Amino acid sequence: MTGAADHRNPIVSIVALEKHFGAFRVLHHVSLDVFPGEVVCLIGASGSGKTTLLRCINQLAQQDSGAIWVDGELNGFTIANGRLHRRSEREIARQRLATGMVFQRFNLFPHLTALENIVEGPVEVLRRPRAAAAEEVQALLARVGLADKAGHYPAQLSGGQQQRVAIARALAMHPRVMLFDEPTSALDPELVGEVLAVMKELAASGMTMIVVTHELGFAREVADRVVFMDHGRILEQGPAEEVLLRPREARTQAFLSAVLG
């Protein structure tokens, strides 16, 4: 898939990103293009900047310098007369619609049922009629295997079920790119599989996905490209088999042998 994708324009283009938290450098000169239909897995140790990179893509975090283009639009700024002008909050909210985000800790809305969680965006943000939206959401719930859980509150669902509702909630906004921030890290081991299965189905359907993960088996099976990050930099990237089985960099080798034990 990677080879074919290279001829097209990237859907996400990250250019020379820099970010600091105080004196700590989280991202250093990170550049990355992601093409339509591609599945890119970001791997690396905790604190290597993977999650921050993901959060910059949907503007939950703001980079200090550098640029991110999503679907041809510059994140957070407009360009006029050779200067950058900050976009309004409303504009940034609109830009976020291009990406769907799945969080490590699900972040479902606890006061709403599974169905209401997913319907909330289409109705309140996209202003779609509730009945039509609810119908589509039922189909989405079926797609993630939870057709019978529509009326359940998050507290009544297992972690794996909650994360699948969260995926459906993101999909309901019809994003161009799905962002996953360690989607299985907060799950009991026996529940990881059901979430990965939904993600595999999503990848197979042609969705562009950027996945921060420690699930190297998933990366190897599904990712078109694996990106290894270390201390805020992209150290190595390439096809999954290459990076995971024949890493060039010593730090990648060290990380992989530590993770695989």
Partner 1 sequence: MTAPAPLPDISGYSIAPERHWGRWLAVAVILLLLAALGRAFAVGMIEWRYVGAFLTAPAILTGIANTLVMTVATMALGIALGVTTATMRMSPNPVLRGVAVGYVWLFRGTPVILQLLLWFNLALIFPRLGISGVWTVRTVDVMTPMVAAFLGLGINQGAYTSEVVRAGMLAVDTGQYEAAKAIGMTRLLALRRIVLPQAMRVIIPPLGNEFIGMVKLTSLASVIQYTEILHSAQNIYYANSRVIELLIVAAIWYLAVISVLTPLQMLLERHFARGTAGGR
Q: Residue for token digits 């979430």?
A: 195
Q: Does 164 bind partner 1 (CB under 8 A)?
A: no
Q: Does 158 bind partner 1 (CB under 8 A)?
A: no
Q: Does 35 bind partner 1 (CB under 8 A)?
A: no
Between CA 19 and CA 173 the distance in angstroms is: 29
Q: Does 173 bind partner 1 (CB under 8 A)?
A: yes
Question: By C-beta, is 6 or 124 nearer to partner 1?
Answer: 124
Q: Does 108 bind partner 1 (CB under 8 A)?
A: yes
The minimum distance between CB 132 and partner 1, in angstroms, equals 17
Q: Does 112 bind partner 1 (CB under 8 A)?
A: yes
The tokens describing 159, both together, are 């972690």
In which region does residue 97 sit, left (phi positive, over 0), alpha (psi from -120 to 50) or beta (all else)? alpha
Contact between 57 and 71 (Cβ < 8 Å): no
Contact between 167 and 117 (Cβ < 8 Å): no
Contact between 244 and 223 (Cβ < 8 Å): no
Q: Does 111 bind partner 1 (CB under 8 A)?
A: yes
Q: Does 45 bind partner 1 (CB under 8 A)?
A: no
Compute CA 253 distance to the chain's CA centroid, rounded to the nearest angstrom: 25
- Positions touching partner 1 (CB under 8 A) are 58, 60, 89-90, 93-94, 96-97, 99-101, 103, 105, 107-113, 120-121, 124-126, 153-155, 166, 169-170, 172-173
